Structure 1
Amino acid sequence: MQSLIALKSTNFRLFFTGQSISLLGTWIQKTAVAWVVYKITGSPFVLGIIGFVGLIPTLLLSPYVGSFVEHSHKYKVMKNTQFLAAIQAFLLALLFYFKVYNISIIILLTLMQGIINAFEVTCRQAMMIDLVDDKEALPNAIALNSAMSNLARVVGPALAGILLSVFGDDFCFISNFVSFIPVIYCLYMMKLPLYESKPHLSNVWSELKEGFRYVKNEKTIFSQLLLLSFFSLMLIPFTTLLPVIAKEVFQGNSKTFTLFESAVGIGSLLSAVYMTKLKQMGKLHKIVIFSSCIMSAGLFTVSVSPGIHLAFWGLVLSGLGMISQSAAVNTYIQLNTDPKMRARVISYYIMAFIGMTPIGSLLIGCMAEFLSTRSVLFIEGVLGILAVTVFVIYSGKSKHADVSTEL
C-alpha cells in the first residue's frame, strides 16, 4: 500500500514499532500527571506551570540542539535520550508509588523530561531520512510518524482513564517506565550506515546565525514558522485547559477528561491518516491555511457548546487542525530544505511548534484564572482567524514579490 510504503524499510519499521509502544506510555503518564496535579491543587495556573516547565527547554535549547545534532552521531544521541527518559519515568513512578504528592518534585522531574525531549525530538526528526531506504518514502515516513503519535494520543488517555479508576495513578507511571524497554530494544536492532564525523565550527553562535539567515531568506518556510509559532503560543495551549474544561465547564470527572483528551487525539489521528495518503505535495501550503481555520473553528465550537457532545466534536476539529498544520509545515521543511541545513531548520520548526507552547501554557493558565474558560477559548478562536488572515495576505505579497523579481 502506498500509504505504508515507508514500513518497507527495516530500520523505519523497527523505529515505528518501538516508538508506538513508548509514546503510548508517554501519553498515559502525561494524562495521569495533568489529572493528579489538578486534583491536588485545583488550579489552572499550576497546570500552566507544569506545561511551561515541560516544554520551555525546547524553546531555549532548540537552536543549539539543532547544531549539536547536526554534528553528532544521531543514533547514539537517540539511544542516550531514551535511557535518560526511562530513568525520569522510573523516578516519577517511585514518587507516585510511595504517594509523595509533592508539586515541587513533580515540576522538577517534568523539567528533566523537557530537557531530554529537546534533544530527542530534534534528533528523531533529523534522522528520519536515514531510516528509509527510498528517499521518496520520506513524506510517508513523516506522516506515519505523525499518525503513530496521534494514535497514541487517542489510546493513551483512554487507557489512562481505565488505569486511574481501576489500578490508581502509580500504575500509570510504572506503565510508562516499562514502555521504554521495547523502544531501546528496537534501537539496538537497527543497522544504520557508518557514521561520518563532521567538523564543528569553532563558534556555535555562528552556526545559529547561519541557520537563522537561511530560514529568514526562505520566505515560505519563514512565514509558515511564524504562523506555527503564533498558534503554538495562543491556540495549541488549549490542551492545558482540558482538565478545567472537563471538571469546571461540564462538571465532569476523570472519564470526561480522558474523553476530551481522546477527542483531540481522534482529530489528530484523522489528520495524520490524511497526510499519509497525500500525493500532491504542492498542496502543503494550502493545507497549512485550511487546517489553521479548522482549529480556530473547533475552539469556537467548544467555547459556545451547551453540552459535552458538541464540545467533543469541537475538540476533534481542534486536534485535526492542530496536527494537519504542524505536519504540513514539517513535511514542507523536510522536502524543501538544503540537506546541510536540515537539522538546524528542523530545530527552528520544533522551537516554533513545541518551544512556544510552554509560554502559551503559562499565559493561557493565567488568563483562565481571571476569565472564564469559555471566554479564553473564544478569544483563542478569534486570534486564530486573525492570524490566518495576516498569513494569507503576507503569502500573497511574497508570491507577488517573487514573480516581480523573476520578471
Structure 2
Amino acid sequence: MAPVDGTSRLSLLLRALRSRNYRLFVAGQSVSLVGTWMQQVAMSWLVYRLTDSAFLLGVVGFTSQIPTFIFSPVAGVLADRMNRRRLLMITQALAMVQAALLAAAVMLGVVQVWHIVVLSLVLGMVNAFDIPIRQSFVVEMVTNREDLGNAIALNSSMVNAARLVGPTVAGLLVASVGEGICFLLNSASYLGVLLALFAMRIEPREGDGKPRRHVLHELKEGFLYAFGFAPIRSILLLIALMSLTGMPYTVLIPVFARDILHGGAHTFGFLMTAAGCGALAGTVYLASRDSVLGLGRVIVVSAVLFSVGVAAFALSSSITLSFAALMVAGFGAMTLVASCNTILQTILEEDKRGRVMSFFTVAFMGMTPFGSLGAGTMSRIVGPRVTLVVGAVCCLLGALVFARNLPRIRALVRPIYARMGILKEVANGMESAAEQPPMPEDKR
C-alpha cells in the first residue's frame, strides 16, 4: 500500500465536506452546539445550586428527555413523509425561544425550580422531533453515499469539539456572572443553524408526494422492520441498555464535582470537558476510517471501554484520575454511538430511514430519562459511587452479549453491503467467494 501523506489523510478525514449542503450544516451547527453544551452545564449547576438535591437533578434530566421516548416515533413518521429541512427550521426556532425564556427568568431573578422543570419539558418535546429528523436528514446533505459514514463521524466530532469548549466556558461564566448569560448565548447561537438551513439546496426525495397510509400503520411498519431484523434490533437494544444504565453518570457529575472532589462550577465544567476530549478523540478516529468493515468489533471494544471508564470515575477520589476516567468513558460512549449510527444509516431502506432513526433516538435519548431518574433515586439510597458501578457492570454485560451475537450479525449485514453496492470491495468479494478462502473472523 502506498504511503499516505498529511494532505491525503486530511482529505480522508474531511471528505464529507465536499458536499456543499453538509459544509453549510457544519458551519451553522458548530456555532449552535457550543451554546447547547453551555446551557446543559449551566442548567445542571443552577438546579444543584438552588436545591442541593441529586434527586432533583434526576427529575430535571427526566423531564428534558422523557418526551423523546414518547414523541420520537411520531417524528420518525413525519421525517419519512415531509420536508426534513423545513421541519428542522421549525424545531431550531422553537429551541431558540426556549433558551431565551430561560435566560430571561434567570437574569430577572425570578427563576424557580418549577420554571426549569417546565422549560426542560418544552425543550425535551422540541428535541423529540428535532433529533430523529436531523439524523435522517444527514443522508440528504451528503452528495456521495460513500461519504455517509464520514459525515456521521464528523457530526459527532462537531458535537464533542463543542463539548470541549462549551462546558469550560460555561463553568467560567457561571462562576463569574451567573447562569443566565449561558442561556442567552445559547439562544443567539441557533441563528447559525437557521441561516445554514435556509441557504441549503436540497433535491426532492424519491417517493415524495406518494400516497401515505395512516400514521399508526406506518409506525407499526417501521417497528416491524427495525425489530424484525437482528442487526438493527441488536444495535438498538445495546444502545438502550447503555443509555438506561450507563449514561446517567452525567447527571451525577455535579455531585462528584462538589461533594467528592470538593470543587465548584469550574470543576464541573472541566469534568464535562474531559469526557468531551475522549469523545472527540473517538469520533476523529471513526472519521479517519475509510470503510464500515470492522465496526462490529469497534462497538464491542468501545462498550467495554465505556464501562471501565464509568466504574473508574465512580471509585476515584483524585481529580486527575477522574479526568482520565471520564476521557475513557467519553471515548467509549461516543465511539459506540457513532459506530452504531453509521451501520444503521448504511443498511437502512430509504423510505424507512426516519422511522428507524426515531427508534435509535428513543434508544439513545429516550431511555436516558428513566436512567436519570433511577440514578438520582438510587444515589440517595446507596450513594453515587455504587450507583455508577452498578450501571457500568450492566453495560459490560451488554457488551459481552453483543460480542457473542456478533458473528451472526456480520453474516446478515455483509450481503446487504454487497447488494446495495455501498462497498465495492465487499461486492467483489461476494462475487468471487467460491474462489477465495473464508475471511478470518477477526477481520470481518
TM-score range, shorter chain: over 0.9
> Which blocks of at least 5 consecutive residues in structure 2 are unaligned?
1-10, 415-444
1:63 match = 73
Offset at residue 400 of structure 1 (A)? 8.3
Partner residue, 1:297? 308
Partner AA of 2:73 in structure 1: P
Q: What are the superposed Cα offsets for residues 44-100 of structure 1, whole Å, 9 maximum, x if unpaired?
A: 110001111111111111111101111011111011111111111111110111012
Structure 1 match to 2:336:
325
Contact kept in structure 1, 2:22 and 2:142, CA below 8 Å: yes
State the Cα distance separating 1:399 from its structure 2 match: 6.5
| 1:139 equivalenced with 2:156 (yes/no) | no
Per the alignment, residue 88 of structure 2 pairs with: 78
Q: Distance in 2 between matches of 1:41 and 1:269?
A: 32
Counterpart in the other structure of 2:299: 288
| AA matched with 1:213 | L
- Judging changes above 3 Å, is the alpha-carbon distance between structure 1 residues 190 and 201 closer, same or farther for their aligned structure 2 residues? closer
Q: Are 2:117 and 1:107 aligned?
A: yes
Partner of 2:423: none
Match of 2:225, SS state, is helix
Matched residue, 1:16: 26
1:5 matched to which residue of 2? 15
Cα distance, 1:197 vs structure 2:
3.4
The structure 1 segments of at least 4 consecutive aligned residues displaced by more than 4 Å after TM superposition are 396-403
Q: Which of 93, 100, 119 is the aligned partner of 2:129? A: 119
The reply to whether residue 270 of structure 1 matches residue 281 of structure 2 is yes
Q: CA deviation at 1:385?
A: 1.5
Residue 236 (structure 2) pairs with residue 225 (structure 1): yes
| Equivalent-residue separation in structure 2 for 1:306 and 1:30 (angstroms) | 25
Is 1:90–2:97 an aligned residue pair?
Answer: no
Distance in structure 1 (CA, Å) of the matches to 2:345 and 2:360: 10
- Aligned partner of 1:383 in structure 2 is 394
Deviation string for 1:318-337 (max 9, x for gaps)? Answer: 11111111101100000011
> AA paired with 2:346?
L
Bigger drift between 195-204 and 174-183 goes to: 195-204
Q: For the Cα contact (< 8 Å) 1:223–1:395, is it kept in 2?
A: no
Distance 2:32 2:127 in 1: 13
Q: 1:192 aligns with which of 198, 202, 221?
A: 202
Q: Distance in 1 between matches of 2:142 and 2:407?
A: 35
TM-score (norm 2): 0.88
Secondary structure of the residue aligned to 2:391 is helix
Could you tell me which residue of structure 2 aligns to residue 212 of structure 1? 223
Counterpart amino acid of 1:303?
Answer: A
Q: What runs of 5+ residues in structure 1 fail to find an aligned partner?
A: none
Does structure 2 retain, via aligned residues, the 8 Å contact 1:249–1:373? no
CA contact (8 A) 2:61 2:373 kept: yes
CA RMSD of aligned residues (A): 1.7
What is the match of residue 247 of structure 1?
Answer: 258
Amino acid at match of 1:148: M
Q: CA deviation at 1:262?
A: 0.5
Flag the 1:217–1:142 CA change in 2: closer, same or farther, 3 A. Answer: same
Secondary structure of the residue aligned to 2:278 is helix
Task: Please tell me the residue identity of whatever aligns with 1:250.
Answer: L
Contact 1:71 1:200 in 2 (8 A): no
Residues 16-45 of structure 1 deviation map (CA, whole Å, 9 limit, x = unaligned) = 010110110011011000001101101111
- 2:41 is aligned to 31
User: Which one-letter code corresponds to 1:74 in the other structure?
Assistant: R
Query: What is the CA deviation profile of residues 130-185 of structure 1, one whole-angstrom value per residue up to 9, with x for unaligned ones?
Result: 11222211111111100001111111000101111222211111111111122211
User: Whose radius of gyration is greater, 1 or 2?
Assistant: 2
1:361 aligns with 2:372: yes
Deviations 1:352-400 (A, max 9, x none): 1111001110011111111121111211222122221222223356668
CA contact (8 A) 2:32 2:186 kept: yes
Which stretch has the larger CA shift, 164-173 or 153-162? 164-173
Residues of 2 paired with 1:161 and 1:303: CA distance? 22
Check the 8 A contact 1:18/1:182 in 2, yes or no. Answer: yes
Q: How does the TM-score come out when normalised to structure 1? A: 0.96
Is residue 2:168 matched to residue 1:166? no
Counterpart CA distance in 1 for 2:217 and 2:194 is 35
Secondary structure, counterpart of 1:127 in structure 2:
helix
